[in-house]
Amino acid sequence: MAYSPQEIRDYIAAQEAKGGYGDAQIAADMDKFGVNPAQVAQAYGYGAGHVQKRYDAANPTGEFASKPQFNPMATQFGDPFKYDQKNPYLADMSKAITGDITSNLTRNIMPQIASGAQLVGGFGGSRQGVVEANALNDANKQAANALTGMYYGDYNNAMGRQLQKYGMDQGYNLGMGNLQLGNRNTDLNQMQVGANLFQQGNTGFLNQGQGTYNLGLTAQQAPWQAYNNFNQGAQPYTGTGSTTATQGGSGAAGFLGGAVGASQMYNIFK
């Protein structure tokens, strides 16, 4: 029967009004009425995890208790059928074993006991009952041993499957980790190559800029260099470029010197 959130709240409120109604009693009633933690959480507006934790603490083996998760790092393994898919053929195999033992008991052993008792005149007597009881006990032991061996073998197989899966998962995780590490190293190498190319390009731009600056500077200084070269070549003829002090000279001598210089300049450039 499905209960509405209002019905759940009304029931819990009524029980709490009686006193002594805690988590243990609530969990027991949840199992009794088939109300799961999610329904209680919805009724009170709680998170489903909050109610589930309180239920598990109060009733860890209850109908709605959280199922244990497989922990491959645990020191001991629990029942593998809680974690691995249960062998679907075990039930049929169990029926086959018990069926064969029961058939042998009823068709062979029991008729032989009855026939032997009848031959000695003890059919239906207490001795026949004792022998038949012993036969039943032997049959039960035989079935128990056969079923125990079958379940034990399947248990070991399940454990082996879990360990194999764990090893495969670990190998996969290790391989993925190495792949990610390799990708990381490749990215770092590419970043280093990019940084080196950028540094080389930057250095080339700087050198190119310095060369352009030097060419401009040379072109800018070229007219002045030509003027200086001309001035230095003309100094012997013009008397410029240095100052000469003459004592006792006359103005006429200076004028004559200048005239001679002008005449020499004319001869050079004519």
- 249-264 mean pLDDT: 48
Residues 91, 152 within the same domain: yes
What range defines the domain where residue 106 resides? 87-169
Q: Which of 104-108, 156-160, 204-208 has the highest mean pLDDT?
A: 104-108
If one counts the domains in the chain, the total is 2
Is the pLDDT confidence value at 41 over 60?
A: yes
65 exposed, middle or buried (CB, 10 Å; 0-12, 13-18, 19+)? middle
Residues 39, 103 within the same domain: no
pLDDT by residue (tens digit) across 191-224? 787 778 777 767 776 777 677 777 776 767 767 6
- Give the end-to-end CA distance of the chain in Å, rounded to a whole number: 132
Is the pLDDT confidence value at 75 over 60?
A: no
**Does some domain include residue 40?**
yes
| CB 260, CB 232: distance < 8 Å | no
**Does some domain include residue 105?**
yes
- 132-152 mean pLDDT: 88
Residues 104, 35 within the same domain: no
Name the average pLDDT for the chain.
75
Please, where are the H alpha helices in the chain? Answer: 5-18, 23-33, 37-44, 48-58, 90-104, 110-119, 126-238, 251-269
**Does some domain include residue 250?**
no
Q: At what angle do helices 5-18 and 23-33 cross, to 10 degrees?
A: 140
**Does some domain include residue 95?**
yes
d(Cα 131, Cα 118) in Å, to the nearest integer? 13
Q: At what angle do helices 126-238 and 110-119 cross, to 10 degrees?
A: 160
Domain boundary among 169, 199, 216: 169
Domain boundary among 117, 135, 169: 169
| CB 16, CB 44: distance < 8 Å | no
Angle at 76 between CA 73 and CA 79, to 5 degrees: 110
Residues 165, 99 within the same domain: yes
Q: Report which of 42, 43, 51 is spatially closest to residue 12, judged by C-alpha positions.
A: 43
DSSP 8-state assignment for residue 139? H
Residues 129, 163 within the same domain: yes
Residues 112, 163 within the same domain: yes
| CB 52, CB 65: distance < 8 Å | no
